[in-house]
Structure 1
Amino acid sequence: MLGVLAGAFIGLGSLAFLLVKADASLGFATSQWLGGLVFSIGLLLVVVAGAELFTGNNLLALAWADGQIGTREVLRNWVLVCAANFVGAAGLAVLVYLSGHTGAHGGAVAQQVVKVALAKQALPWQEALFRGVLCNVLVCLAVWMAMAGRSVIDKAVAIVPPVATFVAAGFEHSIANMYFFPLAMMVQASDPALAAHPVTWAGLGLNLLPVIAGNLLGGSVLVGLTYHLIYRRRAPD
């Protein structure tokens, strides 16, 4: 249930991102940074309201390396949470589509989600992989810093800058993509004019495979295991 909530929370951040990107009057840098700023509501909801997010849970590598949990427990958590995140993100996409939200701004939101999904579908696997790495380095750093905060304001200050940076840079977040793709497919199914270049389930799979791998590498290795090496407990002499 917590995984489903986290998928929906990231979906809400993605919804806000699309609203900003649908405004063609904004310049590139402005729309990227504003989009990143509003997208950060997703991770803020996960951390403050409480939920289980696959990309943040990549930090379980810290506990695994310290011997506090086993390999089976880590893998079980990652698989179950990732699957639940998909249910939450795709489920929110269905609700958003049924609400008619994609017709906002004269259908600009619908056009934007298709544009975003097509761009992600067309990414070469190596670009998707490394964008996934860089994304989750920033996401896990945001979660790591948020653990030092005592108040909601503390956590927001820790979370917003790294998340806004990865979104503005165009890096790849696997759970956000679980919202964009289903919504784009539903939009195309209802509007043939937007279906000249179809967004497909195969395209989603080919995107998610390298992005999930990149998220795992960035979060668990470059952040989790790095901090384990830095702060590992040494046996007394």
Structure 2
Amino acid sequence: MPALFEFDAYSPREIAERVETVGVAKARLPLLSMLVLGVLAGAFIGLGALYFVVVRSDPTLGFASRQVLGGIAFALGLILVVVAGAELFTGNNLLVMAWADRKISTAELLRSWFIVCAGNFIGAVGLALLVFLSRHAELNNGAIGQEYLKIAAAKIAMPFWTAFFRGVLCNALVCLAVWMALAGRSVVDKVVAIVVPISAFVAAGFEHSVANMYLIPMAMLLQQVADAGGPAITWTGFFSRLLPVLLGNIVGGSVLVGLVYRLVYRRFPDH
């Protein structure tokens, strides 16, 4: 009979093996499957960001409450990606483990990252358009729309290196969430593993490239119909701040999580 409090999760060494096996399969997905799953992930993360903005738009909450509760709400995005199944650029930075062990080529790694990132962009912007047309931002007497504009303006104004390092810290936590989700054997295990690190990065104000692919275009759409009176939110500003966040996400996920765990559990497998 199993013990009442048996630790029924994969060990870190087993997780490393699973990450490599899954990484090979992800890198070799057919083009159309990879792209469509990328579109889904972009939309899923956008839904998490939408949920986050709803919480953030409540003026009755204090700063810490808004950030933490908003972060818990945002975790919906990665839960959908992991449980429902989709391809997310930030989580797929863990493919470097399979690449470092020469199980996938550099071309396969870069192909996966490019296609998935493009799919994420399409899904996130497409969701922003649908949400805009639904007039969701008019809820709470327009406070939700104003929150989108405020968030996007702050992101556009962020200095390059601030955005980069916030991207590093964000994806270290995102990839740790994915790593721990792979330790779980049930949906409940995966959800619990995801919520805390994801809510932590959101509460801390770190930068997620795919979330920004939803939040900033949504603000651009709202700016066209609202007399915001603030700084212009443009595609130029969007891409100029997407680059440092993308680079930071790659470093945080690939180096601080993927390559570190590869060094510990694959290069020295008896550890």
TM superposition score normalised by structure 2? 0.85
Q: C-alpha separation between the residues in 1 aligned to 2:253 and 2:105? A: 18
Q: Name the counterpart of 2:27.
A: none
Q: Name the counterpart of 1:163.
A: 198
Q: C-alpha separation between the residues in 2 aligned to 1:30 and 1:99? A: 28
1:17 aligns with 2:52: yes
Q: C-alpha separation between the residues in 2 aligned to 1:150 and 1:54? A: 23
Q: Can you give the 5+ residue segments of structure 2 that lack an aligned partner in the other structure? A: 1-35
1:39 aligns with 2:74: yes
1:70–1:184 distance in 2 versus 1, CA, 3 Å: same
1:202 to 223, 230, 236: 236
For 1:30-88, what per-residue CA distance to the aligned partner results, in whole angstroms no more than 9, with x for missing partners?
A: 00000000000000000000000000000000000011100000000001100100000
Task: Say which SS state the counterpart of residue 197 (structure 1) adopts.
Answer: coil
1:114 aligns with 2:137: no
For 1:117-165, what per-residue CA distance to the aligned partner results, in whole angstroms no more than 9, with x for missing partners?
A: 0000000000000000000000000000000111110001110000000
Q: Name the counterpart of 1:149.
A: 184
Q: Name the counterpart of 1:55.
A: 90
1:132 aligns with 2:145: no
Q: C-alpha separation between the residues in 2 aligned to 1:150 and 1:187? A: 42
Task: Say which SS state the counterpart of residue 178 (structure 2) adopts.
Answer: helix
1:189, 1:195 within 8 Å by CA — same for their partners in 2?
no
Q: Percent identity?
A: 62
Q: C-alpha separation between the residues in 2 aligned to 1:214 and 1:64? A: 19
Q: C-alpha separation between the residues in 2 aligned to 1:175 and 1:31? A: 21
Residue 234 of structure 1: how far off its partner (Å): 5.5
Q: Name the counterpart of 2:213.
A: 178
- Amino acid aligned to 1:85: N
Q: Name the counterpart of 2:38.
A: 3
Q: C-alpha separation between the residues in 2 aligned to 1:235 and 1:44? A: 30
1:212 aligns with 2:246: yes
Q: C-alpha separation between the residues in 2 aligned to 1:63 and 1:106? A: 50
Task: Say which SS state the counterpart of residue 59 (structure 1) adopts.
Answer: helix
For 1:172-226, what per-residue CA distance to the aligned partner results, in whole angstroms no more than 9, with x for missing partners?
A: 00000000111101101011x1143211101111110000000000000110000
1:229 aligns with 2:254: no
Q: C-alpha separation between the residues in 1 aligned to 2:87 and 2:95? A: 12
Q: C-alpha separation between the residues in 1 aligned to 2:115 and 2:73? A: 27
Q: C-alpha separation between the residues in 2 aligned to 1:114 and 1:19? A: 13
1:188, 1:195 within 8 Å by CA — same for their partners in 2?
no
Runs in 1 of length 4+ with deviation above 4 angstroms?
Answer: 233-236
Task: Say which SS state the counterpart of residue 58 (structure 1) adopts.
Answer: helix
Q: C-alpha separation between the residues in 2 aligned to 1:171 and 1:134? A: 7
User: Comparing 194-203 with 4-13, which one deviates more in the overlay?
Assistant: 194-203
Q: Name the counterpart of 2:100.
A: 65
Cα RMSD for the two superposed structures? 1.2
Q: C-alpha separation between the residues in 1 aligned to 2:154 and 2:268? A: 47
Task: Say which SS state the counterpart of residue 53 (structure 1) adopts.
Answer: coil
Q: C-alpha separation between the residues in 2 aligned to 1:79 and 1:165? A: 27
